[in-house]
Structure 1
Amino acid sequence: MDARAVRLRVLGEIRRKVGFDAYAWPLTDPETAVGTAPLADVPCLPELPRLIRLKYLTPTNRWTTLRPGTVTTLRAATGGNPARSLLWREMLDGYGVADVASAVFADRFGVWAFLDLWRSRPFTGPETATLTRILEPVTTELRRAQAETFVARDGHSPRPGPVVLLLSPELDVLGHTPDTAEYLRVLVPPDDGRAPVPAGAYNVAAQLLANEAGVDGHRPAARVHLADGRWVTLRAAGIVRDIAVTIEESAPAERVALFGRASGLSTRERELLGHLAHGSDTRDLARRMFLSEHTVQDHLKSIFTKTAVRNRRTLLARALGS
């Protein structure tokens, strides 16, 4: 299953065993922890930019501060006083949300997603324990699904950018370059006849606001799967008082780094893959990494096994997208 199907299936199990009223479950760039592919069913979708902005500016139960393998509730984190949360105080209270169960899906290779479950009544200890038990296997499955996106398949995606989307500090769309809508339509397919929603752009822009507010220091950037094995990188930067979000095809080094993490390669294996992507042969690899040629071959065999390829050509075609 792809990452969307994985999340939908898991949500069905959670709804049956725990129950919730609404949810938000975006994937994230494993290095920057910035949201990428959103999946949500919340009552405030018309206020999506405001919701994302408040989520990124709220330190309470922020996914970048949560401990992997645990589920934390808003009630527990605020000592029973959810008004201590900016997101709850400014938005969730108005929608009758009494508690939020939050979790981050992370492992030693990076942060792959975060989940918020909203409910009109508090979550119980046994319910959070049930949610905790799914975190490790679901994290592994989400990472596997991301690795699968590097396999090129027949399909159409826009030509490389860059394209630009201009947002206000409140994340209102102020303008964009001509091809931006085409990219957004592929990134987050809208309902028929509707304009595409720039959810990925909202996330990187909100991360920039979090940087400026001193809430979180991760870079305001995220790599997002576009289609047919292709990846684009979104970046946010301030222009006077507004925010410019650029969307362009991910650079080879960005692809290789993400491919290595998603495939579960060790630090040493990712280093070797990076050298290999620059055209190094076995002798060069051994010299650069201060290893024997025999050890280099052992590392390559391990990489082939983890990435399900049989040779260097296929490995590089998948990692580089060529």
Structure 2
Amino acid sequence: MAGSTAARERVERICAAGADARTLRLRLLAELRRAVGFDAYAWVLTDPETRVGCGPLADVPCLPELPRLIRLRYLTALNRWTTLTDRPVALLAEATDGDLGRSPLWRELLCRYDVADVASVVFRDGFGCWAFLELWRTGGRAFDRVHAQFLRDVAPTVTTALRRGQARTFETASPSDHPTGPLLLLLAPDLQAVRQTPGTRDALRLLVPRDDEGPPVPAGALNVAAQLLAVEAGVDASPPWARVHLAGNCWLTLRAARLEGDAPREERDIAVTIHESSASERLSLFARCTGLSAREAELLAHLATGADTRDVAARMFLSAHTVQDHLKSVFDKTGTRSRRTLLARVLGA
């Protein structure tokens, strides 16, 4: 039965296993399928600061229409993961009082795939928004409140596991063949790929590996571009950029912007740049992933500039003893024992 104690305990065991983000989500999806049942899904990791998608995992019947799906999802305010602030779970059939056509995403796309209900879940804690999940049901079957309650019950545990999974990416060595750049992907206003700079295709393939030899899926680029559309439409105010984990200790930052020109804004192409995340971008993300307090994150930022204990104490108006206490807490939270190891993880050195 959905929401059973046994099902929740299985979710907790999966979350405690310490798997990487992809393996974690796949194992949890198998358990969620048993607990609540669904026919398709999209589970997207998000940049915790901007809440923009950065690591998709999906099995949906409309994959050939991926640009359209992502564009509509970002432009649909109803049950958008950024609007689920009071509760982490919402059901489309319930939110629309059964009139699914109130959702532009359903009205313009999902209705053609016999989608009868969508359960939306956001995974957010005090350090940021880490992912959103959408479960689709077809064939006239809707989710009920028992299903929603089960998803609400497990959301905090899953959120912590997702955040800790991102933190573990900083513990491994970076690949030697990571892309250099910046790289550029040009998208049409409907988010169809137009052209790209050399090396972009290889970078996109690394970001979203495929099991076949087909063309790379530019999902990360589509997410930041769709966020740009959402900002322009007044749906959401978060900036159109996201940090995306590549491999090992390597993170990339994707940003979207409109090209200049004489045509109306909505008719101009969108440029998505891809480059290695800067030291400040990495540090901010590392602090969130490892659950550092604001004061601890500030201390880490000073250390990253080469400051010693005396310098940090002066800059933060603290005693050297208090700085050492903060540093010990940082070591405990990050699983490090020395400043050298700590900064190597933060900066990717």
Shorter-chain TM-score tier: over 0.9
- 1:61 paired to 2:88: no
- 1:104 paired to 2:131: no
Distance 1:61 1:111 in 2: 15
**Counterpart residue number, 1:168:** 188
**Counterpart residue number, 2:145:** 125
TM-aligned CA deviation for residue 161 of structure 1: 1.1
Q: Which of 90, 95, 104 matches 2:108?
A: 90
Provide the aligned length of Structure 1 versus Structure 2.
Answer: 322
Runs of 5+ in structure 2 lacking a partner?
Answer: 1-18, 261-267
Give the 3 Å change call, closer, same or farther, for CA 318–222 of structure 1 in structure 2.
Answer: same
**Counterpart residue number, 1:315:** 342
Distance 2:147 2:283 in 1: 39
Distance 2:207 2:80 in 1: 24
- Letter of the 1:261 partner, please give it: R
- 1:197 paired to 2:224: no
Q: TM-score, normalised by structure 1?
A: 0.98
Runs of 5+ in structure 1 lacking a partner?
Answer: none
Distance 1:3 1:193 in 2: 23
**Counterpart residue number, 1:215:** 235
TM-aligned CA deviation for residue 227 of structure 1: 1.3
* Contact map agreement 2:175 2:250 (CA 8 A) in 1: no
* Contact map agreement 2:243 2:251 (CA 8 A) in 1: yes
Report the 3-state secondary structure (helix = DSSP H, G, I; strand = E; otherwise coil) of the residue aligned with 1:113: strand
Distance 2:87 2:346 in 1: 29
* Contact map agreement 1:304 1:315 (CA 8 A) in 2: yes
Map 1:156-305; keep pairs closer than 5 Å: 156-240=176-260, 241-305=268-332
* Contact map agreement 1:157 1:186 (CA 8 A) in 2: no
Distance 1:156 1:18 in 2: 42
**Counterpart residue number, 1:140:** 160
TM-aligned CA deviation for residue 228 of structure 1: 2.1
* Contact map agreement 2:179 2:199 (CA 8 A) in 1: no
Distance 2:170 2:248 in 1: 8
Q: TM-score, normalised by structure 2?
A: 0.91
Q: Which of 38, 46, 54 matches 1:28?
A: 46
| CA deviation profile, 1:3-34 (whole Å, cap 9, x unmatched) | 01111111111100110010000100000000
Give the 3 Å change call, closer, same or farther, for CA 294–186 of structure 1 in structure 2.
Answer: same
RMSD, aligned CA: 1.1
* Contact map agreement 1:187 1:225 (CA 8 A) in 2: yes
| CA deviation profile, 1:134-155 (whole Å, cap 9, x unmatched) | 1000000000000011122374
TM-aligned CA deviation for residue 156 of structure 1: 4.2
